[in-house]
Structure 1
Amino acid sequence: MYRPKFVQVSHDISVSVKPMYLEEESNPLISKHVFAYFITIENIADQKVQLLKRHWQIHDSSGKDHQIEGEGVVGKQPMIEPGSNHQYNSFCVLDSYQGSMSGYYIMERADGEEISVQVPEFILVSHLLN
């Protein structure tokens, strides 16, 4: 099955996202739709960066929107060297068959400057709609 890839570059940091519907984990009868997302953060700058915080905006087509903020990603605050990347995956649960996520990471450069790195808006849609 084809999975789209969403990419955005800001402050010489590339963030790419591949979302996927998890049919085995979902239960449409009780409005539980589980989506995984696989993220690659690539440092194309000339200095290392550390991911400090994350901020997510989650939109559910049922009308429920919420925000999530926290330290790092999946319990880590990775240091990403120039030319390197950090990959991780996580998930979210929606009430409806479709929605979207977007957000940003707060990162600190080696020189101490904090930057806001945008995560592209990515679409969460169940293949059950097709």
Structure 2
Amino acid sequence: MSGKIVIRAYSLYLDDESKPEEAEYHFAYTIEIENGLAHSVQLLERHWLITDANGQRHEVQGVGVVGEQPHIAAGESYAYNSGVHFRTPLGFMEGSYTFQDADGNLFDESIPLFTLAMPHLFH
């Protein structure tokens, strides 16, 4: 394959939905997927490893993302928003997506580790 799939993640702490006094910390995140390949692909499955600051790990596998299995044309991007909550003010997510190319070949792309943190947690 020429080029590559680029995956970027952005997180946001949801202060209005969080209840730190009850150890509930809510976050939104946006994932952008850029298809730098010379052909279109379809995102078929997701696999997430979600870890809080206590080392509690939750694994999520499923079909598509946010109810979709998007087709991403060569040179195009796809973005979606989702959310997660933790019992700690700090957490991490990483994983992979399974894609299919126009010839039916399956391949996985890693989702780089990203941090979800309550603002001002680090100085």
TM-score interval, smaller chain:
over 0.9
Equivalent residue letter for 2:112: P
For structure 2, the 5+ residue unaligned runs are none
Equivalent residue letter for 2:30: F
RMSD between aligned alpha carbons? Answer: 1.1
The residue aligned with 1:100 is 92
Identity between Structure 1 and Structure 2 (%): 39
The residue aligned with 1:65 is 57
TM-score, normalised via structure 2 length: 0.94
Counterparts of 1:62 and 1:20, CA distance in 2: 20
The residue aligned with 2:17 is 25
Counterparts of 2:102 and 2:73, CA distance in 1: 10
For structure 1, the 5+ residue unaligned runs are 1-10
The residue aligned with 2:48 is 56
Q: Aligned residue pairs: how many?
A: 120
The residue aligned with 2:35 is 43
Counterparts of 1:107 and 1:67, CA distance in 2: 19
Equivalent residue letter for 1:76: E
1:111 positional shift:
1.4
Query: SS state of the match for residue 21, structure 2?
Result: helix
Counterparts of 2:120 and 2:20, CA distance in 1: 10
Equivalent residue letter for 1:31: A
Deviations 1:8-64 (A, max 9, x none): xxx710101111111111001111101111111010000100000000000101231
Equivalent residue letter for 2:119: H
Counterparts of 2:95 and 2:55, CA distance in 1: 18
Equivalent residue letter for 2:37: A
Equivalent residue letter for 2:114: F
The runs of 4+ residues in structure 1 deviating greater than 2 Å are: none
Is 1:124 aligned with 2:119? no
Counterparts of 2:11 and 2:67, CA distance in 1: 20
The residue aligned with 2:77 is 85
Counterparts of 1:92 and 1:99, CA distance in 2: 10
